[in-house]
Amino acid sequence: MNWEGQKLAEQLMQYLFLASALISFFTGYFFTSFRLMLLIYASGALLTTLITVPDWPFYNRRPLQWLDPKAAEASSSRIIKAAKVQAPKKASKSVKK
């Protein structure tokens, strides 16, 4: 789950709990049943947990754009060679995007 997904999950969690509390309170009051209120709230809480806890695909719609890897300055000559070979390719790709 990325940053946007985490924000969405948290807000969704808060609004869903609030909504289930409001719905359960007024339904319970209307039908004068405390038991009904608790049942509705419990099912609302279960639903909220199912929606916000698993890592659903819609939490990963906008993945993070990581920077392209840069080769570290290493003492080993072999790594420097590899970086020299790969660097131009990566650079050209990112330009196209």
Query: Which residues are near other proteins by CB under 8 A?
Result: 1, 6-7, 9-10, 13-14, 17-18, 21, 24-25, 28-29, 32-34, 37, 41, 45, 48-49, 52-55
Of 4, 51, 44, residue with least CA distance to 24? 44
Closer by beta carbon to other proteins, 55 or else 68: 55
3 state DSSP class of 56:
coil
Q: How far is the CB of 91 from other proteins (least distance, A)?
A: 31
Nearest distance from C-beta of residue 27 to other proteins, angstroms: 11
Angle, vertex CA 25, rays to CA 20 and CA 30, nearest 5: 130
**Least distance in angstroms from the C-beta of 55 to other proteins:** 8
Q: Is the CA virtual torsion 70, 76, 82, 84 positive or negative?
A: positive
Nearer to other proteins, 25 or 82 (CB): 25
For the CB of residue 42, give the shortest distance to other proteins in the complex, in Å.
9
Distance CA 58, CA 51 (A): 11
| CB atoms closer than 10 angstroms to residue 37 | 20
